[in-house]
Amino acid sequence: MGTMAKIEVKNITKIFGSNAAQALPKVEAGMGKEELLAETGAILGLKDVSLTIEEGEIFVIMGLSGSGKSTLIRHFNRLIDPTAGQILVDGNDVMKLSNKELEQFRRQKMSMVFQRFGLLPHRTVIQNVAYGLEIQGVAKTERETTAMEWIEAVGLNGFENKYPSQLSGGMQQRVGLARALANNPDILLMDEAFSALDPLIRSQMQDQLVELQEKLHKTIVFITHDLDEALRIGDKIAILKDGVISQVGTPAEILLEPEDDYVRAFVRDVNRARVLTVDTVMQPPAMRITHDNIERALSEMVRRGEEYGYVIHNKEYRGYVTQEVLEEAVEDKSSSATIYDLAVEGNSVTLEDTLEEALPVTLEADHPVPVLDESGALKGILSQEEVGQILVPPSEDDEAESKPVSLKVIDKEEETLKAAS
Amino acid sequence: MDSDIFPNIGKPIKNATNEFVDYLVINFGDGFEAFSNSLLFFLVKLERLLRSADPLIILLCVGLLTFAASRRLTLTAGMVGAMWFIGALGLWQQAMQTIAIMLVAVAISIIIGIPLGISAARSERFRALLSPVLDLMQTIPSFVYLIPAAMLFGLGKVPAILATVIYAAPPLIRLTDLGIRMVDGEVVEASRAFGATRWQILKGVQIPLAMPSIMQGINQTMMMALAMVVIASMIGARGVGETVLLGLQRNDSGQGLVGGIAIVILAILFDRITQSAGQRMQAYRNIGG
């Protein structure tokens, strides 16, 4: 046995309706959503969903409205019970918990952050943040001390005695986040937590979440309908469509190797330059020079047909050399320059840079740009051609061409829904 | 004009009801009397307290209560003036009797009404059962149940209170039900997600958030209880209603009007105090934006 997954969802099926039990065999036999609705009146929410979420990762479940993502996240803390299937948290079957045990489980294992915040309007910020602890019966002074720490952690000090209605949306959601964290749960469930916020605040909150996560190392399950958000904060992304998982993978895998037309259509409009980081597209350095013998370096470069060589000393990148420079140095016998003197440092990019950030450097340079890690070691090179290739969306096959149309329709539906509400 | 299409069911219902009431009176008379006496015990104490107190103290209490509920000086002065006006009408003692009956009736309505309203909000089936009963309570002429009530509890204040509760509790039950149903589902879900028990959710979330609606229900119950005072006086409940009733019996329109004015003043008094208390309770809704 390997390490145990934090959350394991096994073959969850959820059918809504009073006749769910009779409808289940039909779904298992492969009946689709529309057919089931027409025949039994039951609504298929999730179909045979299985997921493995590892400790400490931000796992994003992405789908449009009606895809079942909010239903799925409510299975983790059993706000909704599945019609069939199993949910294991730390190896324990959540379905087997009694009511009392379930309350304890919700108090200790996971906290939830809601799309419309779900704050108690008649309580002040500090009382809201302390709510989870109050439920557990923690004494007032102790829970307010803890609450205050988290209010500070999300940057709301000075607002602790305000009511939620006195705060802006972004601040209210920080209260929601602080309330969830004050319980000190292993797992954080975030249901479209940032979707109700305007774009600027949303990206601030995303940054804050990622920043907090670097300190806290919680397991975070994050629901969103926004692929940009998913790609920005997710370590892993699951794409859900009509209650079925389309693909699970890292952001780069989702972008670069979409498994079906649905995902392909989705990722087409994504600004890849902003999402992809250098480490996902760089190539290994073709010509590493780890010694200071100029002649040997030149002959190796000529033999391999490499125009540029990257000089490394004590695992540290020192600069690049061209064949031309080395030839001149070999010819000029009077020169006592070492290869380190000849190496031109030039610009470099780091592993975590997005392509958008790396692009200007790459375009300016006439050679493949070196990619360095934080200790200054050479990890790879980034050429203009590679960047260009990656930034062009995948070419469409014939079957993929019909898909964007249907996606547009879904988008429109969502817009009208928003307008109506 | 005999017609065969109508079998006579009226008569058996009539007879069965009479027999049932007789049966209750004969077999459970003591029990009803004991209940009646315990209720009367509180009522008499409260009435005695109100009637024996110096009117100045009562006026002061009205002032303090209004100010505590509204924090507005003009309203406080107005309410004290209105109360003084009842005394000036010569109906101080009667007003104290009426207030005592009404407060006890409202207290019983709250004790019964809020739990029923909460149960109705939780169970669709219970609500479906309760709804026609509430309709019945509100529409059936009060004399229909005043007759058996007078037989079971004797004439006087207790059947009057019972009649008042039957008439006045439904709005509180309905508004409690509505208030709890209107509580934001996401807030309730949030507290479930934090592991709150049903009781913790009810006490900490649903009731506080339904409070404006519940306060509205209590206000309505008070208004309806005051509307019942004239009818209640017909079975010997005394109070301001009796003044109106006497005016009616003696063809004395002047006395009827004086009694009527006193009832209206009492209604305004209780309405303003409960309304402003309700508004202050939900102050958190109005601040900011």
| pLDDT tens-place string over residues A173-184 | 999 999 999 999
Name which of A79, A131, A165 is nearest B284 (Cβ-Cβ).
A165
Pairwise CA distance, residues A81 & A61, whole Å: 19
Q: What helix, strand, coil percent values describe chain B, rounded to 5?
A: 85, 0, 15
pLDDT at position A200 over 80: yes
> Tell me, what's the pLDDT at A189?
95
Per-residue pLDDT for B289 more than 80? no
B195 vs A103, A116, A167: nearest CB: A103
Contact A135 B190 (CB under 8 A): no
Q: What are phi and psi of B258, to 5 degrees?
A: -60, -45
Output A284 or B271, whichever has higher pLDDT.
B271
Asked if A120's CB is within 8 angstroms of B191's CB, the reply is yes
Q: Which domains are delineated in chain A?
A: 280-391 (3.10.580.10)
User: How far apart are the C-alpha atoms of B27 and A296, rounded to whole Å?
Assistant: 120
B191:A77 CB<8 A:
no
**Of A119, A165, A179, which is closest to B285 when you measure between CB atoms?**
A165
A118 touches chain B (CB under 8 A): yes
Least confident of A164-168, B149-153, B217-221, B239-243: B149-153
Record: contact A120-B287, CB cut-off 8 A: no
Band of the pLDDT at A341, cuts 50, 70, 90?
A: confident
Cross-chain CB nearest to A135 (options B194, B287, B289): B194
- In this complex, which of A79, A119, A183 lies closest to B189 when CB atoms are compared? A79
Residue A326 has pLDDT above 90, yes or no: no
- Chain B contact present for A163, CB below 8 A: yes
> What's chain A's average pLDDT?
85
List chain A residues with CB under 8 Å of B195.
Answer: 102-108, 132, 135-136
CB–CB of A88/A264 below 8 Å?
A: no
- The DSSP letter of residue A164 is G
Mean pLDDT on B55-73: 92
Q: Looking at domain B30-283, which of 1.10.490.10, 1.10.3720.10, 2.60.40.1180, 3.40.50.2000 is its CATH number?
A: 1.10.3720.10
Q: Strand pairing partners for A319? A: A311
Do A119 and B187 count as a contact with CB atoms less than 8 A apart?
A: yes
Kind of pairing between the strands at A219-224 and A236-241: unpaired
Q: What is the ipTM of this complex?
A: 0.78
Q: Using a CB-CB distance cutoff of 8 angstroms, which residues of chain B are in contact with residue A118?
A: 184, 186-187, 189-190
**Once rounded to an integer, what is the mean pLDDT over residues B124-150?**
89
CB pairs under 8 A between A and B: 76
Say if residue A413's pLDDT is above 90.
no
Q: What is the pLDDT of residue B1?
A: 52
Which of residues B288 and B276 earns the better pLDDT score? B276
Q: What percent of chain A has pLDDT over 70?
A: 92
| B4-28 mean pLDDT | 87
Residues of A in contact with B212 (CB under 8 A): none
